[in-house]
């Protein structure tokens, strides 16, 4: 046996002190009696001239010395060298997403989860280790594996809930790596403290994670804003139309009172009746003569406040300056001219870099220099775009992504194509219109420029004869118009990074958060964009970077978070799930009670002794 | 006198007379029957006339019948010496009320009954205190009811103090007594040297001994607890004790054993034993215990 703190033997000096206390006589009260004859039986000592007495056999002294020796022994921290059983590893994932801020339980789900997690920490045995992960939009390791309960409690105290969606998959991946190679004897466990509002866990279907799911929440009495967008009013280009989706996540019908404001001015209030578990899209129309922020609020109080407000920056649309490079294409030219908010210029060829154009349309013309602007390309190939290509005859249109902004109100049912360039879907974009062998339309972003690529010559198809063509062209110009996409760029989901391109070198930037706090963001020399990565609270943020001042909005806009229904089961793919534990698994240590009992017994003994002698 | 005995109690005591179990042996004439022959109204015996006898005591009826001269003898009536041994040591000054005050009251009551019965009363207080020699001398021999007032006054002037050896004091008093009689010992008997030899000396001298043990309520049921340093009032010795309520029963058992040992000793020697607390009413001892034990009647 060895000792970690052998110097603690110095406490043995306390033993003689205890003995001296027993050698000292107790102070006695002088009492005159008629005769000591009757007191002989109670005689303690015949003579009392010295302050010390003879050390007599006393069980209390022996017990006290014994306890003292044990305490000294413990303070010396003895240990046995050899193979010892390592403690169990537990990985605690604390869901800190917006839904955990729901107040259907008091004070809220997150605080309840923290309280239970603290019990789990208290219940850790001597060698048990715990890793504390805080999962919101990102997973943060609040405390690496440790047996130090003080450090764990300190880390837990710093955990706060955020108004972000849940991304549990990231936390599970991290937890999996921690428990993966642990032997079964150590019994590693992953404890999830969450309401289960998580998706995207299919990757863990066959992982057989040793998961203990602690579920929180009672009901889902909540209504929230799940989507918001602003664009020009199709009926009146001088007005702005704000599209929003309101969801009633409770099973009861409810009337939702909405208030739309532009800046500090209330624009409109509206009461919407929503049946249970239903959503309703809404359109608000408002005149706008300057850039500003629309804010939509739900004025009713419900269980979750984070989804009762959404803001969006609305910029006055600037007309897109479009350069059409075409030998001759009347269909395309006419479609571009009818596109709203576009100023068209036509050139037959592009020999040099075009200046002062927002969108360049390449119609079956390969430019000498690839334009440094957003591009709509028809039947153009370039090694910048694709590594290889070939021709394909009569590719049928089999599918298209009607949900994409480019294909809004576009139907390709009756479009036939005679010939097209067959390519493989590039990494920079997604295929929007598909034929069996090749995508016909690809949209994406390349070198920070947006590109819409159509693989066939429209004159080799029936598309120009369909009504969907001018709609597609208008959608494309709108999508490629930098000023039109600014609105979308100036809104991010809570927890997602906000990126701001830097045109001129700056040394520092200042961010004003939604709660009015200001802080400086360091900028590395030569950086081409500024990233705000910790916008975890929704609201309006203002960024001042050099000569540029930009306002952006952070919103929750997550129907899964707004749905507060506590999930009894956590799905892992189709066939795997974890059920919430009915009993919170947390070992409760008893030593405090035993120590308290021992202390109470000691106090009782002390009281009883004095009661007998007093 | 008022401080010792109330007028009511005195009137009750006047009705009593000390009951002697033995014939009086005093040489002085009194009202107690004795074995001596003398002049009284109580016929005792006859004896043959011898020349010189008083013709007034010849029984002429007997002479007429037997023609022989007989002289009638009568019992001589003598006085009964009553000796009250009063413990005036330091230990008797304890208690509330003081044991010594109680003892003085008992002594006064016994003495008053004796004086009313024309008996000679002696109060012997021990230890000796030279400054009280006059008072104590006056209490050595008191006779007659008319002396009661003076008797009470002297008893009131008695005081207690100093230590005493009970055995030695009683033994010396026994030796000093010229005639045996009724002895009443008033003491707490708390003498480390014991009491046996003293009482045996009185019995051996022929006294009809009555022992009255007087203890204070505090001695019977102490109320001081804790770690105590006890100082003996008489000897000055110091004893350290740890005394709590939990030991009260044990203490009371010790007191009971002590009293029981004294009682058994007295019974074995023909001594009538009485035990009283200084806190109990005086009437209970005088009018009940002593009367029931036929000390007087």
pLDDT tens string B6-16: 888 888 888 88
pLDDT at B22: 63
Poorest-confidence range of A166-180, A284-298, A410-424? A166-180
* Biggest CA-to-CA distance, chain B: 90
The answer on pLDDT for A235 being more than 50 is: yes
SS3 state at B39: strand
Mean pLDDT across B86-94: 89
Query: Cβ separation of B241 and A44 shorter than 8 Å?
Result: yes
Does the interface ipTM go beyond 0.90?
A: no
pLDDT at B192: 84
- Strand partners for A570: A578
Residue-wise pLDDT for A297-355, tens only, equals: 999 888 888 889 999 988 887 888 999 999 888 999 999 998 887 889 999 888 888 88
The residue extents of the domains of chain A are 2-79+594-613, 89-218+566-586, 320-482, 487-555
Query: Does the pTM exceed 0.90?
Result: no
Residue-wise pLDDT for A120-135, tens only, equals: 888 887 778 889 999 8
Provide the pLDDT confidence category of residue A584 given band limits of 50, 70 and 90.
very low
pLDDT at B135: 84
The DSSP line for A47-81 is ---SSB------HHHHHHHHHHHHHHHHHT-EE--
Q: What is the CA radius of gyration of chain A?
A: 37
- Strand partners for B120: B81, B143
**Token pair recorded at residue B113:** 């009954």
pLDDT at B29: 60
Residue-wise pLDDT for A244-268, tens only, equals: 999 998 888 889 999 999 988 898 9
Interface test with A, best of B230, B252, B255 (most A CBs within 10 A): B230
pLDDT at A574: 67
Residue-wise pLDDT for A464-486, tens only, equals: 999 999 999 999 998 888 877 77
Of A48-57, A98-107, B28-37, highest mean pLDDT: A98-107
Query: Cβ separation of B243 and A26 shorter than 8 Å?
Result: no
A25 compared with B270, residue with greater pLDDT: B270
The answer on pLDDT for A418 being more than 90 is: yes
Mean pLDDT across A432-457: 90
Poorest-confidence range of A74-78, A551-555, B139-143? A74-78
Query: Cβ separation of A44 and B242 shorter than 8 Å?
Result: yes
Task: Count Cβ neighbours within 10 Å for each residue of A269-303 and write b for 16 or more, e otherwise.
Answer: eeeeebeeeebeebebebebeeebbbbbbbeeebb
pLDDT at A82: 58
Interchain contact B249–A (C-beta under 8 A): no
Poorest-confidence range of A78-87, B164-173, B252-261? A78-87
Mean pLDDT across A504-527: 83
Mean pLDDT across A374-390: 87
Interface test with A, best of B160, B195, B234, B239 (most A CBs within 10 A): B239
Nearest to B2 by CA among B227, B152, B184: B152
To the nearest whole Å, the CA of B212 is away from the closest chain A CA by: 17
CA distance A434 to A398: 6
Mean pLDDT across A225-234: 84
Of A564-568, B21-25, B50-54, highest mean pLDDT: B50-54
Query: Cβ separation of B243 and A42 shorter than 8 Å?
Result: yes
How confident is the prediction for chain A on average, in pLDDT? 83
Please give the CATH superfamily to which domain A487-555 belongs.
Immunoglobulins (2.60.40.10)
- Is the CATH number of domain A89-218+566-586 3.40.50.410? yes
pLDDT at A153: 92
Interchain contact A33–B (C-beta under 8 A): yes
Provide the pLDDT confidence category of residue A46 given band limits of 50, 70 and 90.
very low
Domains A89-218+566-586 and A320-482 share a fold: yes
Check: CB of residue A420 under 8 Å from CB of residue A391.
yes
The answer on pLDDT for A290 being more than 90 is: no
Return residues 530-559 of A near B (CB < 8 Å).
Answer: none
Query: Cβ separation of B242 and A27 shorter than 8 Å?
Result: no
Residue of chain B minimizing CA distance to A43: B241
Query: Cβ separation of A37 and B258 shorter than 8 Å?
Result: yes
pLDDT at B26: 57
Provide the pLDDT confidence category of residue B28 given band limits of 50, 70 and 90.
low
How confident is the prediction for chain B on average, in pLDDT? 84
The region, left, alpha or beta by phi > 0 then psi within -120 to 50, assigned to residue A573 is left
Count Cα neighbours of A183 within 13 Å in the Cβ-side half-sphere: 5
The DSSP line for B232-251 is ETTT--EEEEEE-GGGHHHH
pLDDT at A86: 59
Mean pLDDT across B73-98: 84
- In angstroms, the first-to-last Cα distance of chain B is 23
Interchain contact A202–B (C-beta under 8 A): no
The answer on pLDDT for A614 being more than 60 is: no
CA distance B80 to B34: 9
pLDDT at B1: 43
Residues of B in contact with A48 (CB under 8 A): 229, 238, 240
pLDDT at A589: 55
Residues of A in contact with B261 (CB under 8 A): none
The answer on pLDDT for A587 being more than 60 is: no
Query: Cβ separation of A28 and B228 shorter than 8 Å?
Result: yes
Residues of A in contact with B241 (CB under 8 A): 39, 42-44
Interchain contact A56–B (C-beta under 8 A): no
Provide the pLDDT confidence category of residue B24 given band limits of 50, 70 and 90.
low
Query: Cβ separation of B233 and A34 shorter than 8 Å?
Result: yes
Interchain contact B223–A (C-beta under 8 A): no
Residues of A in contact with B257 (CB under 8 A): none
Annotation: CATH topology of A320-482: Rossmann fold (3.40.50)
Residue of chain A minimizing CA distance to B216: A34
Query: Cβ separation of B231 and A44 shorter than 8 Å?
Result: no
The answer on pLDDT for A52 being more than 70 is: no
Angle between helix axes A330-338 and A468-480 (nearest 10 degrees) is 60
Closest partner residue to A33 among B227, B233, B258, by Cβ? B233
Mean pLDDT across A408-428: 90
**Token pair recorded at residue A444:** 């994406």
Spatial CB neighbours of B168, under 8 Å, sequence gap ≥ 6? B198
Provide the pLDDT confidence category of residue B30 given band limits of 50, 70 and 90.
low
Residues of chain B above pLDDT 70, percent:
90
Provide the pLDDT confidence category of residue B260 given band limits of 50, 70 and 90.
very high
CA distance B17 to B172: 28
């Amino acid at each position: 046996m060895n000792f970690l703190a052998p110097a603690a033997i110095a406490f043995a000096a306390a033993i003689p002190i205890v003995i001296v206390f027993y050698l000292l006589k107790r102070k006695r009260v002088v009492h005159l009696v008629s005769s000591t004859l009757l007191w002989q039986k109670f005689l303690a000592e015949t003579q009392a001239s010295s302050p010390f007495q003879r050390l007599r056999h006393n069980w209390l002294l022996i017990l006290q010395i014994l306890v003292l020796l044990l305490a000294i022994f413990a303070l010396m921290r003895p240990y046995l060298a050899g193979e010892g059983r390592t403690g169990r590893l537990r990985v605690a994932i604390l869901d800190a997403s917006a839904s955990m801020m729901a107040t259907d339980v008091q004070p809220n789900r997150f605080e309840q989860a923290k309280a239970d997690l603290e019990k789990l920490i208290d219940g850790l045995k001597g060698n048990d280790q715990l890793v504390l992960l805080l999962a919101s939009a990102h997973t943060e390791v609040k405390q690496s594996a440790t047996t130090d309960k003080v450090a764990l409690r300190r880390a837990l105290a710093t955990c706060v809930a955020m108004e972000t969606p849940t991304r549990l998959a990231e936390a599970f991946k991290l937890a999996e790596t921690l428990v993966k190679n642990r032997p079964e004897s150590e019994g590693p466990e992953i404890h999830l403290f969450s309401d289960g509002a998580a998706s995207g866990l299919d990757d863990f279907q066959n992982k057989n994670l040793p998961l203990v799911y602690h579920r929180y929440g009672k009901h889902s009495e909540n209504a929230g804003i799940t989507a918001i967008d602003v664009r020009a009013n199709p009926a009146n280009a001088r007005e702005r139309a704000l599209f929003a989706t309101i969801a009633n996540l409770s099973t009861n019908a409810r009337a939702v009172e909405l208030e739309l404001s532009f800046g500090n001015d209330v624009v409109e209030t509206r009461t919407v009746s929503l049946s249970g578990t239903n959503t309703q899209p809404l359109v608000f129309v408002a005149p706008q003569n300057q850039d500003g922020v629309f804010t939509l609020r739900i004025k009713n109080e419900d269980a979750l406040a984070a989804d009762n407000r959404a803001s969006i920056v609305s910029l006055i649309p600037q007309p897109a300056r479009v350069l059409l490079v075409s030998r001759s294409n009347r269909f395309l030219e006419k479609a571009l001219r009818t596109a709203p908010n576009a100023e068209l210029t036509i050139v037959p060829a592009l020999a040099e870099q075009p200046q002062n154009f927002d969108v360049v349309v390449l119609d079956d013309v390969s430019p000498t220099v690839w334009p440094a602007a957003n591009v709509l390309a028809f039947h153009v190939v370039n090694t910048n775009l694709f590594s290889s290509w070939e021709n394909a005859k009569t590719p049928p249109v089999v599918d298209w992504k009607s949900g994409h902004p480019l294909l809004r109100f576009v139907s390709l049912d009756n479009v036939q194509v005679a010939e097209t360039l067959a390519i493989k879907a590039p990494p920079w974009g997604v295929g929007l219109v598909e034929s069996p062998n090749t995508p016909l339309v690809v949209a994406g972003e390349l070198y920070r420029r947006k590109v819409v690529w159509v693989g066939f010559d429209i004159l080799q198809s029936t598309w120009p004869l369909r009504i969907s063509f001018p709609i597609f062209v208008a959608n494309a110009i709108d999508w490629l118009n930098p000023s039109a996409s600014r609105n979308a760029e100036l809104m991010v989901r809570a927890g997602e990074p906000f990126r701001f391109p830097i045109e001129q070198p700056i040394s520092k930037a200042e961010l004003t958060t939604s709660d009015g706090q200001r802080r400086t963001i360091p900028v590395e020399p030569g950086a081409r964009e500024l990233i705000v990565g910790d916008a975890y609270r929704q609201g309006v943020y203002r960024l001042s970077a050099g000569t540029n001042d930009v306002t952006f909005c952070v919103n929750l806009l997550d129907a899964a978070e707004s749905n507060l229904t506590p999930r009894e089961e956590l799905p892992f793919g189709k066939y795997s799930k974890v059920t919430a534990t009915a009993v919170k698994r947390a070992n409760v240590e008893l030593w405090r009670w035993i120590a308290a009992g021992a202390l109470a017994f000691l106090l009782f003994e002390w009281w009883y002794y004095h009661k007998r002698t007093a | 006198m008022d401080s010792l005995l109330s007028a009511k109690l005195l009137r009750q005591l006047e009705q009593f007379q000390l009951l002697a179990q033995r014939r009086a042996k005093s040489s002085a004439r009194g009202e107690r029957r004795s074995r001596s022959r003398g002049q009284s109204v109580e016929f005792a015996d006859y004896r043959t006339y011898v020349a010189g006898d008083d013709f007034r005591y010849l029984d002429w009826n007997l002479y007429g019948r037997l023609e022989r001269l007989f002289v009638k003898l009568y019992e001589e009536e003598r006085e009964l010496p009553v000796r009250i041994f009063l413990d005036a040591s330091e230990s008797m000054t304890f208690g509330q009320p003081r044991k010594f005050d109680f003892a003085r009251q008992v002594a006064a009551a016994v003495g008053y009954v004796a004086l009313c019965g024309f008996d000679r009363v002696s109060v012997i207080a021990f230890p000796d205190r030279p400054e009280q020699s006059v008072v104590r001398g006056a209490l050595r021999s008191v006779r007659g009811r008319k002396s009661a007032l003076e008797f009470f006054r002297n008893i009131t002037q008695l005081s207690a103090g100093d230590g005493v050896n009970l055995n030695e004091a009683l033994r010396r008093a026994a030796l000093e007594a010229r005639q045996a009689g009724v002895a009443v010992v008033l003491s707490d008997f708390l003498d480390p040297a014991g009491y046996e030899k003293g009482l045996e000396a009185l019995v051996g001298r022929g006294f009809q001994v009555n022992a009255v043990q007087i203890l204070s309520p505090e001695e019977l049921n102490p109320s001081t607890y804790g770690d105590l340093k006890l100082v003996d009032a008489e000897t000055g010795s110091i004893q350290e004790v740890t005394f709590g309520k939990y030991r009260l029963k044990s203490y009371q058992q010790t007191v009971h054993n002590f009293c029981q040992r004294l009682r058994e000793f007295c019974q074995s020697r023909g001594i009538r034993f009485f035990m009283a607390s200084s806190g109990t009413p005086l009437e209970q001892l005088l009018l009940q215990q002593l009367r029931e034990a036929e000390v007087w009647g």
